[in-house]
């Protein structure tokens, strides 16, 4: 019994020692892991701290602010040429893509009834002239009174006006080109019935193109009539072209608050089609030689801009080494701000 008790006590002692050793090992591992995690967190905190500021001199240079605008490129003139009379189309003289000159015939409408009316007007006109001639002859012999002669002359004038009206009505059966251009669409064929003022062709003038785009009030001063602007049409490998501002809207669109600009683009050499989109690049602000600051050096608080500069009192150990100075800058241009006031070229600023 005594031996059995000794063996039991020895076994319990061994278990206690093993537990103590295991606990110590686990505690050591956890301690090592916690120290490693603490070191990693301290390293991350160090990386999050802002870098130390470094000094750079304020440089002087000129800056040019350019902006791109989306544009619509349209024919200078585009007209839906109408039929001036109703009737049936008996001839078409043009096809899509055909070049026409002002006055060229486009569409002919059946004019048989109009010619009948014209013949009647011609007959009345001839009779009126005969009666007027007879009245003039009889007037010399006092057979016809002055009032009778004036009545005959009045009828002659009415007959003349009706003849001119009949001739004009016949002429309106031939639809003619109102300007030089290209047939973009022919809307009727022979045999079609058309009503008065119904469009029969779409005629466009593409010797010049109308470039239309909108700008904000802040960019409006960059566009004045006659100024050249660079346009890139929305075509593969399209070369840049020069247009000239032709119109600047005097009032903003009430919905968009933007101003419409139109430019004229000559299109006779290496012509491009109308109806394209494109882009226009223009200089909207030019800042002459002067101090400029890298964008990383400028901090904004509301509309105020500030930079870090050396504190002149720091040598006397009064205050911090760096202080903020409020400045006035223009718009950012390629990573730099033009300085309008508040700092001069050659001074030192600090970038954090």
Q: How confident is the model at residue 29 (pLDDT cuts 50, 70, 90)?
A: low
* Strand, coil or helix: 31: helix
The pairing of strands 241-248 and 304-310 is: unpaired
pLDDT at residue 316 is higher than 90: no
pLDDT at 27: 60
Cα 79–chain centre separation = 23
Confidence of residue 41 (pLDDT cuts 50, 70, 90): low
pLDDT for residue 196 is more than 70: yes
Instruction: Note the pLDDT tens digit of each residue in 211-256.
Output: 999 999 989 988 999 999 999 998 887 788 999 999 999 999 999 9
Report the chain's C-alpha Rg in angstroms.
46
**Residue 28 pLDDT:** 65
What would the CATH number be for the domain defined by 80-200?
A: 2.40.50.100
Structure tokens at 264: 């004229």
Q: Where are the beta strands (DSSP E) in the chain?
A: 54-57, 59-82, 87-92, 99-100, 105-109, 174-176, 181-186, 193-194, 199-215, 228-233, 241-248, 259-266, 276-294, 299-301, 304-310, 322-329, 336-341, 348-351
pLDDT of residue 100: 94
Residue spans per domain, the chain: 54-62+287-351, 68-73+206-286, 80-200
C-alpha span between 333 and 350 (Å, rounded): 20
Tokens of 94: 């043009």
Determine the pLDDT at residue 199: 96
State which of 20-34, 87-101, 145-159, 323-337 shows the largest mean pLDDT. Answer: 87-101
CATH number for the domain running over 68-73+206-286: 2.40.30.170
Per DSSP, 342 falls in state S
| pLDDT level of residue 20 (50, 70, 90 thresholds) | low
Instruction: For residues 281 and 234, give the distance between their C-alpha atoms in angstroms, rounded to a whole number.
Output: 13
Report pLDDT for 279.
Answer: 93
- Asked if residues 65 and 331 have their Cβ atoms less than 8 Å apart, the reply is yes
Tokens 């030689």 correspond to: 289
Class of CATH domain 54-62+287-351:
mainly beta
Categorise residue 347: left if φ over 0, alpha if ψ from -120 to 50, beta otherwise. beta
Work out the percent of the chain whose per-residue pLDDT is above 90. Answer: 51
As to burial, measured by CB atoms within 10 angstroms (0-12 exposed, 13-18 middle, 19+ buried), residue 17 is: exposed
Model confidence band, residue 56 (pLDDT cutoffs 50, 70, 90): confident
Return the pLDDT at 150.
Answer: 81
Look at residues 184, 167, 177 and name the one whose alpha carbon lies nearest to residue 105. 177
């Amino acid at each position: 019994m005594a031996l059995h008790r000794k063996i039991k006590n020895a076994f319990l002692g061994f278990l206690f020692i093993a537990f103590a050793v295991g606990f110590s090992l686990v505690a050591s591992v956890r301690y090592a892991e916690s120290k490693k995690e603490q070191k990693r967190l301290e390293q991350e905190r160090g990386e999050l701290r802002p870098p130390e500021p470094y000094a750079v001199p304020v440089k002087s240079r000129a800056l040019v602010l350019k902006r791109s605008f989306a544009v619509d490129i349209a024919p200078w003139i585009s007209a839906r040429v109408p039929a001036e009379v109703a009737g049936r189309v008996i001839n078409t003289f043009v096809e899509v893509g055909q070049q026409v000159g002002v006055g060229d015939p486009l569409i002919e409408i059946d004019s048989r009834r109009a010619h009948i009316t014209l013949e009647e007007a011609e007959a009345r006109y001839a009779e009126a002239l005969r009666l007027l001639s007879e009245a003039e002859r009889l007037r010399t012999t006092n057979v016809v009174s002055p009032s009778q002669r004036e009545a005959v002359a009045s009828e002659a004038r009415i007959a003349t006006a009706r003849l001119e009206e009949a001739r004009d009505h016949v002429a309106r059966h031939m639809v003619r080109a109102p300007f030089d251009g290209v047939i973009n669409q022919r809307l009727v064929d022979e045999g079609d019935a058309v009503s008065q003022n119904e469009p029969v062709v779409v005629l466009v003038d593409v010797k010049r193109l109308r470039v239309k785009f909108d700008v904000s009030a802040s960019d409006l001063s960059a566009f004045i009539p006659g100024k050249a602007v660079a346009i890139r049409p929305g075509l593969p490998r399209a070369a840049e072209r020069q247009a000239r501002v032709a119109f600047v809207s005097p009032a903003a669109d009430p919905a968009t608050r933007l101003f419409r600009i139109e430019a004229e683009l000559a299109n006779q050499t290496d012509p491009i089609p109308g109806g394209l989109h494109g882009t226009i690049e223009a200089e909207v602000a030019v800042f002459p030689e002067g101090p400029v600051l890298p964008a990383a050096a400028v901090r904004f608080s509301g509309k105020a801009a500030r930079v870090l500069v050396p504190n002149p009192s720091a040598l006397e150990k009064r205050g911090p080494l760096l202080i903020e100075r409020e400045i006035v800058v223009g718009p950012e241009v390629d990573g730099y701000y033009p300085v309008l006031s508040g700092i001069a070229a050659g001074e030192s600023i600090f970038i954090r």
